[in-house]
Amino acid sequence: MTLAEFWFVLVGFLFAGYFLLEGFDFGVGMLLPALGRDDTGRRVMINTIGPVWDMNETWLIVAGASLFAAFPYWYATLFSGFYLPLLLILVALILRGVAFEYRGKVDDPVWRQRWDIAIVAGSVVPALLWGVAFANILRGVPINANGDFTGNLFTLLNPYGLLGGLATVVLFATYGAIFVALKTVGDIRYEARALAAKIGVVAVVLGAGFLVWTQLQHGDLGSLVLSVLTAVALVAGLAANAREREGWAFGLVAAAVVGLVATLFVALFPDVMPSTTDPAYSLTVENASSTPKTLAVMSWIAAFGLPVVLLYQGWTYWVFRKRIGRHSIPTSPQHGAAPVAGS
Amino acid sequence: MDALDLARWQFGIVTVYHFLFVPLTIGLSFLVALMQTAWYRTGDPKFLKMTKFWGKLFLINFAMGVVTGIVQEFQFGMNWSAYSRFVGDVFGAPLAIEALVAFFLEATFIGLWIFGWDRLPKGIHLACIWLVAISTNLSAFFILAANSWMQHPVGFEINPERGRAELTSLWAVLNNSTNQVAYPHVATAAFLTAAAFIIGISAWHLHRRQHTEVMRESMKMGFVVALIFGVGVTVSGDLQAKVMTEQQPMKMAAAEAIWDTQAPASFSVFTVGTPDGQSELFSVRVPYLLSFMATGDPNGEVEGIRDIQRESEEQFGPGDYRPIIPVTYWTFRYMIGFGAVTAALALLGLIMMRGGRNPAEKRWFYLAALWTIPFPLIANSFGWVFTEMGRQPWVVYSQMFTADGVSPLVGPWMVATSLTVLTLLYLVLAVVEVGLIVRYVKAGPPEDDASGPIEPPERDAGARPDDERERPLTFAY
């Protein structure tokens, strides 16, 4: 394996890590109105991800920076080419992050309702657009000899891309519902389970459709094996959910999320952004990567850094392993959040 | 305006905006960690109240720093794809190290700190805020290593075939002499920023004679920190000026708008000049000061813009190598001025505080302290505008022009869209953020038991036998 190939795997690992972790955050955010009947219910949901959403989102920053360092040409073409979708993702992530932190800071229903909207939109939009983006990366986009994207927004909104986006939305919604069931007590836990079963059916249909299309158009033997494993994990996860085995359900759907990313990356290899204009203009693992020198230095840093990161992030999940419920939510608002006299 | 101008405006706006929150995060994380350490050591509830009060303001600010930071990483690829291709092999490495080493640490332990009250052992919980404080400084170091490479590229060679800069030594990039002065300057400025924030808010409460125990302690801390780091920012800035004179002579000449080489050179506090900026009508000057700032010798020679322009043309070919002189001239002065006033206020306040007196009783001092809160923020912003505008027309000094770094096929309307959307979003969030800060400043520190009364858990109707019953979370979103 060349260093560039190793970094292709590593970038895939980082994006898989991102969707593995923020996938259920997106799901929790999307389902806020569906599962959180009242404010306390919504707060239970938000607090299941409260301590971890920021570190989960940081996987995107690390994946993006690694893309820049290891595959500058891929990073440059992707980010300048998918300009408007990325702008929307940025706006969504900004609003969503601020919403988590600020929502409880003022004890006022209108204030909270506005931030709830930000959380829902801020979760649906990136879940959809990341799906659209990755489907289009695999599908190929018009790229000229200089490596620049020559299409526009509508180039990306093709049926395959849109199917990819819808598939990730429902997959993450299912994943989020199963996460809520795993992390809560009380009615919400059972409602989340029931909702996961319903959305899960849609996720299986759309996910299978997307995987089959992927396999027919872009697949090889490796992606075939991974597609099958992904589909099996998703179905088995839903079966576990139906049997009220929450830990298994979560683990299997998580495996399906990772499997989906793995399928796309395996099908993509050895390209990183195929050009539909002329295959000669395609960005590949070899022609889009940094020098072996840079990749070698970065490999050492990743080899020492990543295991430590995984350890302390694992420890964080262990610290916050307990289920929470309506009783966990403090009845009095935060000091300072109550309406100030005379203001 | 074409896509280049719009992309530059966007970079300026989102970066300066992001950097309103960053220095407060860097400085306050350390100061809150110190407060919590004092509480951990002494058990004095005063320090716990300080930790909770300033910690909450820190978090309101922190959230904005986090979310606006994502834009920073994305926009290199979005608006500056040609730049990204040219520099990625070198410039990407410090960014990736920053993300892997610093951001992960920061984002993980901030969550543990926020939600860890009463759940983690006290010592571990204290370690969490220290790790956040350390990681904010680590991230500043790596991002400044990246920026220093743009000011003074080292540890690379140009591959003419690929048309890109390629890394030869990561150590050289991280150990860049530019960063050795830039990082201390930015870090000390960050502490000055946090200190001014604490001083102004403490003064607000002390003027009203409320929460005096907590606020007096806070104000004293603010004065001491402001004074130490006021000196630090001056010394590091002075060292930086000398490095800058050597590495980017045009920037130093442009900072003073000195057109012809002079020895000794005086520093003008302000100047009234002709509209074209090339000759002055009136100025207030400090003799020898510029020579000293630039070279360390009061009689040292400072090269003028005309000479440097001529030399640059000989070296790099025909072109205009001058930044916009009035911008560099005035931003340089505002940076120094706003920073100096902040440090001076701290010195004055510390003197006035002797013998248990309350400087905020004096209305003028209270107002001065309040108005000084934004001064370091303004100084920071002008500092960045100066150093980035002063590098123009280069994006990577001596290697790549800014005009060549922009994304070739991203049209002006697309950049205009993102510029408009982000600016409007940032404006709305600024209003929300400042509103929240004011609200929580007014609310003051929590009374007595900071963790609040613990209420017995209620059984909800749908409870099943397997439900765990526990007391409410100490903190919940």
| pLDDT tens digits for range A293-324 | 999 999 999 999 999 999 999 999 999 999 99
Q: What residues pair up with B285 in beta bridges, in sequence order?
A: B268
Is the four-CA dihedral A274, A280, A286, A290 of positive or negative sign? negative
Of the ranges A22-31, A71-80, A186-195, B450-459, which one carries the lowest mean pLDDT score? B450-459
Model confidence pLDDT, tens digit, residues B349-384:
999 988 888 888 889 999 999 999 999 999 999 999
Distance CA A104, CA A331 (A): 12
Taking CA atoms, what residue in A is nearest to B436? A105
Cis peptide before B393 (omega within 30 of 0): yes
Model confidence pLDDT, tens digit, residues B179-233:
999 999 999 999 999 999 999 999 999 999 999 999 999 999 999 999 999 999 9
Helices A159-183 and A221-242, packing angle to 10 deg = 40
Are the Cβ atoms of A62 and B100 closer than 8 angstroms? yes
Are the Cβ atoms of A331 and B84 closer than 8 angstroms? no
DSSP state of B283: E
Tell me how close the Cα of B201 comes to any Cα of chain A, in angstroms: 15
Helices B212-247 and B45-79, packing angle to 10 deg = 30
Type and span of the H or E element at B358: none
Q: What is the pLDDT of residue B275?
A: 63
Q: What is the pLDDT of residue B59?
A: 96
Indicate the residue of B112, B407, B452 with minimum beta-carbon distance to A330: B452
Q: Residue A51 carries which side chain, given as an amino acid letter?
A: P
Which of A42, A75, A187 should be substituted to probe chain B, the one whose Cβ sees the most B Cβ atoms within 10 Å? A75
Which of A154, A185, A312 should be substituted to probe chain B, the one whose Cβ sees the most B Cβ atoms within 10 Å? A185
Q: What residues pair up with A158 in beta bridges, in sequence order?
A: none
Q: What is the pLDDT of residue B455?
A: 42
Share of chain A above pLDDT 90, in %: 94
Are the Cβ atoms of A328 and B476 closer than 8 angstroms? yes
DSSP state of A284: E
Are the Cβ atoms of A294 and B68 closer than 8 angstroms? no
Tell me how close the Cα of A224 comes to any Cα of chain B, in angstroms: 32
* A21 within 8 A of A56, measured Cβ to Cβ: yes
B378 touches chain A (CB under 8 A): no
Task: Spell out which residues of chain A touch residue B471, defining contact as CB-CB under 8 Å.
Answer: 327
**In the predicted model, is pLDDT for residue B411 greater than 50?**
yes
Q: Residue B180 carries which side chain, given as an amino acid letter?
A: Q
Taking CA atoms, what residue in B is nearest to A330? B472
B289 touches chain A (CB under 8 A): no
Q: Given pLDDT bands bounded at 50, 70 and 90, which one contains residue B447?
A: confident
Are the Cβ atoms of A65 and B96 closer than 8 angstroms? yes
- Please choose, from the candidates B398, B76, B155, B139, the residue with its C-alpha nearest in 3D space to the C-alpha of residue A293: B155
For residues B293-311, give the mean pLDDT. 89
Indicate the residue of B77, B421, B471 with minimum beta-carbon distance to A68: B77
B439 touches chain A (CB under 8 A): yes
Which residues are within 8 A (CB) of B320 and not within 5 positions of it... i.e. 6 or more apart? B309, B393
CA dihedral B306, B311, B316, B318 (to 10 degrees): 50
Tell me how close the Cα of A282 comes to any Cα of chain B, in angstroms: 15
Interface of B with A in 101-120 (CB under 8 A): 101, 103-105, 107-112, 114-116, 119-120
Q: What is the pLDDT of residue B453?
A: 39
**In the predicted model, is pLDDT for residue B465 greater than 50?**
no
Q: What is the pLDDT of residue B449?
A: 54
Are the Cβ atoms of A68 and B85 closer than 8 angstroms? no
Extents of the domains making up chain B: 192-404
Q: Checking DSSP bridges between strand B394-396 and strand B400-401, what pairing results, if any?
A: antiparallel
In a 3-state reduction of DSSP, which class is residue A330? Answer: coil
Residue B466 tokens, joined: 């397997």
Type and span of the H or E element at A109: helix A109-139
What is the pLDDT of chain B when averaged over all its residues? 91
In a 3-state reduction of DSSP, which class is residue B284? Answer: strand
Are the Cβ atoms of A79 and B78 closer than 8 angstroms? yes
Indicate the residue of B108, B167, B443 with minimum beta-carbon distance to A335: B443
Which of A3, A32, A54, A311 should be substituted to probe chain B, the one whose Cβ sees the most B Cβ atoms within 10 Å? A54
Q: Checking DSSP bridges between strand B164-167 and strand B267-273, what pairing results, if any?
A: unpaired
Task: Spell out which residues of chain B touch residue A302, defining contact as CB-CB under 8 Å.
Answer: 100
Q: Given pLDDT bands bounded at 50, 70 and 90, which one contains residue B294?
A: confident
Is the four-CA dihedral B188, B190, B193, B198 of positive or negative sign? negative
Could you count the other beta carbons within 10 Å of the beta carbon of residue A319?
17
Pairs across A and B, CB distance < 8 A: 287
In a 3-state reduction of DSSP, which class is residue B270? Answer: strand
Residue B389 tokens, joined: 């505008």
Distance CA B191, CA B27 (A): 4
Q: What is the pLDDT of residue B435?
A: 95
Task: Spell out which residues of chain A touch residue B56, defining contact as CB-CB under 8 Å.
Answer: 336
* B18 within 8 A of B72, measured Cβ to Cβ: yes
Are the Cβ atoms of A186 and B114 closer than 8 angstroms? no
Are the Cβ atoms of B472 and A293 closer than 8 angstroms? no
Residue B423 tokens, joined: 């600016």
* B322 within 8 A of B254, measured Cβ to Cβ: yes
In a 3-state reduction of DSSP, which class is residue B191? Answer: helix
Are the Cβ atoms of A101 and B429 closer than 8 angstroms? no
Indicate the residue of A54, A71, A80 with minimum beta-carbon distance to B410: A80
Which of A87, A130, A154, A273 should be substituted to probe chain B, the one whose Cβ sees the most B Cβ atoms within 10 Å? A87
- Please choose, from the candidates B217, B198, B229, B196, the residue with its C-alpha nearest in 3D space to the C-alpha of residue B345: B196
Distance CA B29, CA A329 (A): 27
Q: Given pLDDT bands bounded at 50, 70 and 90, which one contains residue B277?
A: low
Tell me how close the Cα of B382 comes to any Cα of chain A, in angstroms: 25
Given 3-state DSSP classes, what are the helix, strand and coil percentages for chain B, each rounded to the nearest 5?
70, 5, 25
Tell me how close the Cα of A281 comes to any Cα of chain B, in angstroms: 15
Are the Cβ atoms of B120 and A146 closer than 8 angstroms? no
Indicate the residue of A69, A105, A313 with minimum beta-carbon distance to B436: A105
- Please choose, from the candidates B57, B81, B69, B83, the residue with its C-alpha nearest in 3D space to the C-alpha of residue B194: B57
Output the CA–CA distances (angstroms, integers) from residue B470 to A39, A44, A328, B120, B456, in the order listed.
20, 14, 7, 16, 9
Q: What is the pLDDT of residue B44?
A: 94
**In the predicted model, is pLDDT for residue B396 greater than 80?**
yes
Are the Cβ atoms of B460 and A327 closer than 8 angstroms? yes
Q: Given pLDDT bands bounded at 50, 70 and 90, which one contains residue A81?
A: very high
Distance CA A135, CA A118 (A): 26
Task: Spell out which residues of chain A touch residue B95, defining contact as CB-CB under 8 Å.
Answer: 65, 68-69
Q: Given pLDDT bands bounded at 50, 70 and 90, which one contains residue A111?
A: very high
Model confidence pLDDT, tens digit, residues A116-149:
999 999 999 999 999 999 999 999 999 999 999 9
- Please choose, from the candidates B284, B287, B298, the residue with its C-alpha nearest in 3D space to the C-alpha of residue B333: B284
Residue B138 tokens, joined: 């680590």
ipTM: 0.93
For residues A242-252, give the mean pLDDT. 96
* B397 within 8 A of B248, measured Cβ to Cβ: yes
CB environment A169-184: b (16+ within 10 A), e (fewer): bbbbbbbbbbbbbbbb
Are the Cβ atoms of B63 and A102 closer than 8 angstroms? yes
**In the predicted model, is pLDDT for residue B467 greater than 60?**
no
Are the Cβ atoms of B436 and A185 closer than 8 angstroms? no
* B349 within 8 A of B198, measured Cβ to Cβ: no
Model confidence pLDDT, tens digit, residues B107-153:
999 999 999 998 899 999 999 999 999 999 999 999 999 999 999 99
Q: What is the pLDDT of residue A1?
A: 87
Q: What is the pLDDT of residue B340?
A: 93
Distance CA B399, CA B422 (A): 30
Which residues are within 8 A (CB) of A252 and not within 5 positions of it... i.e. 6 or more apart? A233, A234, A236, A237, A240
Taking CA atoms, what residue in B is nearest to A182? B467
Taking CA atoms, what residue in A is nearest to B463? A186
Q: What is the DSSP string of B393-440?
A: TEEETTTEEGGGTS-TT--HHHHHHHHHHHHHHHHHHHHHHHHHHHHH
Distance CA B92, CA B84 (A): 8
Output the CA–CA distances (angstroms, integers) from residue B367 to A12, B206, B363, in the order listed.
55, 12, 6
Indicate the residue of B84, B110, B457 with minimum beta-carbon distance to A76: B84
**In the predicted model, is pLDDT for residue B466 greater than 80?**
no
**In the predicted model, is pLDDT for residue B418 greater than 60?**
yes
Are the Cβ atoms of B460 and A147 closer than 8 angstroms? no
Q: What is the pLDDT of residue B307?
A: 93
- Please choose, from the candidates B403, B60, B33, the residue with its C-alpha nearest in 3D space to the C-alpha of residue A98: B60
Share of chain A above pLDDT 70, in %: 99
Taking CA atoms, what residue in A is nearest to B100? A62
Could you count the other beta carbons within 10 Å of the beta carbon of residue B60?
23
* B402 within 8 A of B392, measured Cβ to Cβ: yes
Q: Residue A224 carries which side chain, given as an amino acid letter?
A: L
B374 touches chain A (CB under 8 A): no
